[in-house]
Amino acid sequence: MTQGRLPRSRSDCEALDRADPLAGARAQFALPAGVIYLDGHSLGPATHGALARVEQAARAEWADGLIRSWNTAGWIDLPRSVGAKLARLIGVAAEDVIVADSVSVNLFKLAAAALPLAKSRTVIVEASEFPTDQYVADGLARISGAEMMRVEADQGLAALERTGGVLIRSIVNYRTSDILDVAAAERVARASGGVIVWDLSHATGVLDLKLAMDGTRLATGCTYKFLNGGPGAPAFVYAAGELAARLQSPISGWFGHADPFAFDAGYAPREGVSRFAAGTPGVLSLSALDAALDAFDGFALSDVAAKARSLGDLVIARAEAMGLEAISPKDAGRRGGHVSVRHAQGYAVVQALIARGIIPDFRAPDAMRFGLAPLYIRYVDVWDAMDQLADMLETRAWDTPAFHARAAVT
């Protein structure tokens, strides 16, 4: 959406919503009345299908089927079958994705497995990277004896080019929403003898990812943001087929064994990406995620990404008209599915918005993040939320002790 075509009124937004190719997706979500939910980049809302599936998995499969449901309800196959659904959303082969563990655990597993393949034993992470990625990099370096290299924002590729080490890097920055060129980065990695482990947490489900085409070899991501898998939903692992056989997971877990029910004392890894499975999967969470992913059926990811860009353009235009500074790229092609704007009292402003039924989130020290999940966010939602923000700033309605009091989760 160019500046000349930005909606100028709520009626313009209503017209865009009527023409939206994704309009039918919103009905799949169990959105509470009177709420505009702009925090799907942090925790996606429930879908009706996911809620029904959890009920079925708990009451029928668990309560009635008991342990038989590992076979009769297909629990044993969920990590791979759900992984196959995810594969379409990141542009890779179905057999190269498995659902397992958390992003933190998977980053450790992948980076540790990549170290023997890299030219140097150097673990690289940017100081602007999501904190857990930095913690994992530091912990892996200490345990393995590898060199830890923390560099400034956007200097990770330069460090990788110099060292040929292992770079842990998000495709979409969690604060700014800035997107890195994956294909260009992978060319740098190959030329240097290095390896990139990608964090897809703020990218999957909102970008039209084509990881195989871009030469991506290793990645993980969470499923509770734009994929709507539910709080604490399991993460996933992608390992390119031609590479997976050369990798050794540092966690030789039971579910990563080639024949777990042979109960052998010795460990033999499963073929391909499945070797990165570890402990027994959480069936209720996997079941919810399995159903939640159905919300993407029938919709083109190119339409999803295009709408996210357009909604972001609208947020930036309205925010800047209020005198707020956007720290997200104005170039929509370089921006993910959320927009961050600065305000010195951003935490209090966000709390005041939440009290009015507008739910974004806050990241210290001063970033208000507005998530633009295209399957259920409408143009009128963004327009109305920005109207409320403008009123909040004009009246200083945010400046009360209740809104300044910090909660544990921001």
Average predicted confidence (pLDDT) for the chain: 97
**DSSP-derived 3-state class of residue 170:** strand
Query: What is the per-residue pLDDT for 410?
Result: 84
Across 305-322, average pLDDT: 98
Across 193-203, average pLDDT: 98
According to DSSP, residue 29 is labeled B
Q: Are 179 and 305 in contact (CB under 8 A)?
A: no
Across 317-333, average pLDDT: 98
Across 153-171, average pLDDT: 98
4 has a pLDDT exceeding 70: no
255 has a pLDDT exceeding 60: yes
Give CA–CA dist 210/26, Å, rounded: 25
Confidence label for 3 from pLDDT (cuts 50, 70 and 90)? very low
1 has a pLDDT exceeding 70: no
The boundaries of every CATH 3.40.640.10 domain in the chain are 66-296
Q: Are 238 and 273 in contact (CB under 8 A)?
A: yes
For domain 66-296, give the CATH number.
3.40.640.10
- H/E stretch holding 173 reads none
The boundaries of every CATH 3.90.1150.10 domain in the chain are 3-30+300-404
55 has a pLDDT exceeding 80: yes
% of the chain surpassing 70 pLDDT: 99
297 has a pLDDT exceeding 60: yes
13 has a pLDDT exceeding 50: yes
Q: Which residue has tokens 């004896």?
A: 145
> Which are the catalytic amino acids?
130, 199, 224-225, 369
Across 121-131, average pLDDT: 98
**DSSP-derived 3-state class of residue 167:** strand
Across 339-343, average pLDDT: 98
Of the candidates 334, 292, 291, which has an alpha carbon nearest to the alpha carbon of residue 316? 334
Query: What is the per-residue pLDDT for 126?
Result: 98
Q: What angle do CA 13, 376, 45 make, to 5 degrees?
A: 145
- Domain 3-30+300-404 matching CATH 3.40.50.300: the answer reads no
- CA 404 vs. chain centroid, Å, equals 29
5 has a pLDDT exceeding 90: no
50 has a pLDDT exceeding 80: yes
Distances (CA, A) of 381 to 28, 45, 67, 121, 324: 17, 15, 45, 48, 19
Across 65-90, average pLDDT: 98
Confidence label for 156 from pLDDT (cuts 50, 70 and 90)? very high
Across 365-383, average pLDDT: 98
